[in-house]
Every structure is written in C-alpha cells, then in structure tokens.
Amino acid sequence: MSEHLVAVMEEHGEYCLRVAYLYVKDWAIAEEIVQDVFFAYYRQQDRFEQRSSLKTYLVKITVHKSHDYLRSWKNKRHLLVEKLHIGSSKRTPETTLLAKDEKKTLTLALFGLPIPYREVVILYYYQELKVREIADILLCTENTVKTRLHRARKLLQDRLDPSEWEVIMDDSF
C-alpha cells in the first residue's frame, strides 16, 4: 500500500466512517463501506481532478456507496432478519422505558427521516459542508438542497421537544 493512501486513510478515514454510519446505522457495515471507498480511491486516484477538496471527493464516494448498500439485497435481508428477531423477543418494562428515552434523542429522530432529508442534514450540520458542496455531492441544485434542509427541519420539529430542535431550526445557509 502506498504511503499516500495510508496518509489519506489516516486523515479522512474516521470522517468517512461517521458519514457512512449516519446512513446505514451500523458500525460494521459502515466500516465495510469505508473500506470500499478507499479501495475505489486507490484504484482510481488518477481520476481525482482536484476540482474540490479530497475530503469532499471521498465523502461523495462514501455517500454513493452508502446509497448502493441501502438499495442492496444484503441490506434488505439484514433488515428482515432484524425485524424477525425483534418481533420474537418479549419486551420488559425496563426495555420499554429505555426505548422511550432513546426515541427522544436527535440521533433517532434523524434516522427516522427519509434518506434525501437525512443526508442533507448530515452533510450540512454534522459534516459542516456548504450548500454548494452538498449539491455537488448529491448531484442536485442548491435550491433542492435548501428545500430538503427546510423540510427536514420541519419534520424534526414535529418529532422532537422544542428544547431538542432549537439548534436545528437555525435557517442560515
């Protein structure tokens, strides 16, 4: 493995892992996706034209690979097995209480958003990308990004207590 690739992985690996996790909600799967991202970068690093930062380029690959995984048969099978397992277990009062507490968190509310809304929130707030960069990554217009952010905020507002969504309701672009 080249020294350049090792340096890129050390600099951007954890960042890409967090992005992938926010899409797939599973650390092991996110790690697989990031491995695929760096393998793809290694094989095609000469295609990187430096029109954006390397970080933006790698996030774009991560987003696309995450989308691919979410559409895959492997993901659908994983979700079905998970649902069957959860349905067969008995709920105790303690687990019910824990589940209610967890549902109040921003992370779970975020995971409840449809992917087009979740991804813009992740890229804008968690990855701190600009609207233009998000539009480039998602291959859409800046106005589409702004609309999705607005709708995502509204959905989160409806799902969370006011104290939890005040930070998200900032409409600055």
pLDDT in tens, 80-121: 556 545 444 555 666 566 555 554 567 777 888 899 998 898
Q: Whole-structure pTM over 0.95, yes or no?
A: no
Query: Coil, strand, or helix at residue 91?
Result: coil
> Is the per-residue pLDDT at 26 higher than 60?
yes
Q: What is the predicted pLDDT for the residue at 146?
A: 94
| Residues 6 or more apart in contact with residue 137 via CB below 8 angstroms | 56, 59, 60, 63, 123, 129
* % of the chain exceeding 70 in pLDDT: 72
Confidence of residue 148 (pLDDT cuts 50, 70, 90): very high
Confidence of residue 142 (pLDDT cuts 50, 70, 90): very high
Computed over every residue of the chain, the mean pLDDT equals 79
- Containing 41, the helix (H) or strand (E) segment is helix 27-44
Q: What is the predicted pLDDT for the residue at 17?
A: 92
**Measured between alpha carbons, how far is 7 from 35 in angstroms, rounded to an integer?**
14
The residue ranking higher by pLDDT, 45 or 150, is 150
b/e string for 52-81 if b means 16 or more Cβ within 10 A?
eeebbbbbbbbbbbbeebeeeeeeeeeeee
- Retrieve residue 54's tokens: 């390397």
Confidence of residue 46 (pLDDT cuts 50, 70, 90): confident
Q: Which domains does the chain have, with CATH numbers?
A: 3-73 (1.10.1740.10), 92-164 (1.10.10.10)
